[in-house]
Amino acid sequence: MIDSVPDLPEWPMFGLAEDVRPAMAAARAAGHAFVLGTLVAVGGGGPRPEGTQMVFAPGLVAGYFSGGCVEGDVAGHARACLADGRPRTLVYGEGSPWPDIRLLCGARIEIVLERIAPDDPALAELLDAWTARRAVAYVSDGTRRACAAGAAVFAGSSVVRAYDPTPRLVIVGGDPTALAIAELGARSGFETTLVRPKGPSTPPPVAGIAYRRDEPAEALAAVGLDPWTYVAVATHDLDTDRAALKAALPSEAGYVGLLGARRRLAGRLAELEHEGLPAAAIARLRAPIGLDIGGKAPFEVAVSVIGEITALRHAAALTASTAQALAS
């Protein structure tokens, strides 16, 4: 039904969407109310962490909560929530009113469903912050909701979710390894830009990426290097590499990695020091780039780079969560 939550397809491609804000924006743009589901409690080592979300809208589903154990049932409750507007708390596992629906891992999870109208002020703030790359917190009790930087938790709040800007990945280079990093980055949910100074006028045949032909300093300045932006320098051209590093290392970028042989690294670091880069900036460089997984084929290097960036992202999120808990 186009005016309700659709039946889930046999292949859960909807679950590849980790960030459900694009689905929220699509529903809002179509003038549709939607149901936001948030995983608020996990016991016994569930497959997805607290804060995981799904969106159910007319003709649209995004996100996932399990390996297919509960999504079909959640969709039915979302259909009812969209129709009557009443929030719901769903429990699966121990204490569930539906003992026949179990997670194969034996976990217990709680999910809050809330209906959000397209003109909801908290939704507007959430999507405005997403566009402007501002970090915000979203708080809701299922009927009341607030969204702001440092939004206060109010009585009865069951949903408390931090939203960071969408991660960005900038690759400087144009060889097969650079293309593999760009393709895997785009598939992994990064807003991805490939920079190839003086490269071909036609963009690379890689779906979901932006392309720039200007020099590294100009390209990186145009993209913008904030803490949620990750830079992979992989050109094999010493001058271009050095120009990219001079622009990226002193910036706020969350990661700067350099492709190249370990035996040449000391000389390249000395060049950067000679160019006047502060020692603290040079110390931020990840080189050789990526996790050491032993492979050097293009997609093997890409896996190592995206893996290293992902590990750093989650470590930073854990550190921020610990600091917040200690401050509260």
- How sure is the predictor about 288, in pLDDT bands with cuts at 50, 70 and 90? very high
Tell me the CA distances in angstroms from 98 to 70, 94, 101, 139, 269, one per residue in order.
Answer: 11, 10, 6, 28, 61
Q: Which range in 64-78, 293-307, 313-327 is most confidently predicted, on average pLDDT?
A: 293-307
Q: What pairs with residue 54 in β-bridges?
A: 37
- The residue among 135, 163, 191 that closes a domain is 163
- The residue among 139, 163, 187 that closes a domain is 163
**Domain check: are 200 and 151 in the same one?**
no
pLDDT at residue number 15: 93
Domain interval for residue 247: 168-313
CA gyration radius, the chain? 22
**Domain check: are 155 and 195 in the same one?**
no
pLDDT digits (tens, 9 = 90+) for 294-313: 999 999 999 999 999 999 99
- How sure is the predictor about 108, in pLDDT bands with cuts at 50, 70 and 90? confident
Rounded Cα gap, residues 64 and 109, in angstroms: 13
Q: Is there a domain that residue 179 lies in?
A: yes
pLDDT at 2 over 70: no
**Domain check: are 225 and 242 in the same one?**
yes
Global confidence as pTM: 0.90
Instruction: Report the first-to-last Cα separation within the chain, whole angstroms.
Output: 45
**Domain check: are 150 and 193 in the same one?**
no
State CA 142 to chain mean position distance.
Answer: 24
Mean pLDDT, the chain, as a whole number?
Answer: 92
Give yes or no for a contact between 319 and 313, defined as CB atoms under 8 angstroms apart.
Answer: no
Give yes or no for a contact between 225 and 252, defined as CB atoms under 8 angstroms apart.
Answer: yes
Q: Is there a domain that residue 137 lies in?
A: yes
**Domain check: are 228 and 278 in the same one?**
yes
- The residue among 143, 163, 183 that closes a domain is 163
pLDDT at 100 over 90: no
pLDDT at residue number 323: 44
Q: Minimum mean pLDDT among 22-26, 31-35, 207-211, 235-239: which range?
A: 235-239
Rounded Cα gap, residues 27 and 306, in angstroms: 30
Give yes or no for a contact between 111 and 41, defined as CB atoms under 8 angstroms apart.
Answer: no
pLDDT digits (tens, 9 = 90+) for 13-66: 999 989 999 999 999 999 999 999 999 999 888 788 999 999 999 999 999 998
Q: Is there a domain that residue 326 lies in?
A: no
- In total, how many domains does the chain have? 2
- How sure is the predictor about 120, in pLDDT bands with cuts at 50, 70 and 90? very high
**Domain check: are 130 and 250 in the same one?**
no
pLDDT at residue number 319: 54
pLDDT at residue number 59: 93
pLDDT digits (tens, 9 = 90+) for 143-186: 999 999 988 888 889 999 999 999 999 999 999 999 999 999 99
- How sure is the predictor about 320, in pLDDT bands with cuts at 50, 70 and 90? low
Report the phi/psi class of residue 121: left, alpha or beta, with left for phi > 0 and alpha for psi in -120 to 50: alpha
**Domain check: are 86 and 213 in the same one?**
no
**Domain check: are 180 and 264 in the same one?**
yes
Rounded Cα gap, residues 79 and 324, in angstroms: 36
The CATH number of the domain holding residue 247 is: 3.40.50.720
pLDDT at 261 over 90: no
What does the pLDDT average to over 130-146?
96
**Domain check: are 134 and 253 in the same one?**
no
2 or 138: which carries more pLDDT confidence? 138
- How sure is the predictor about 115, in pLDDT bands with cuts at 50, 70 and 90? very high
- How sure is the predictor about 98, in pLDDT bands with cuts at 50, 70 and 90? confident
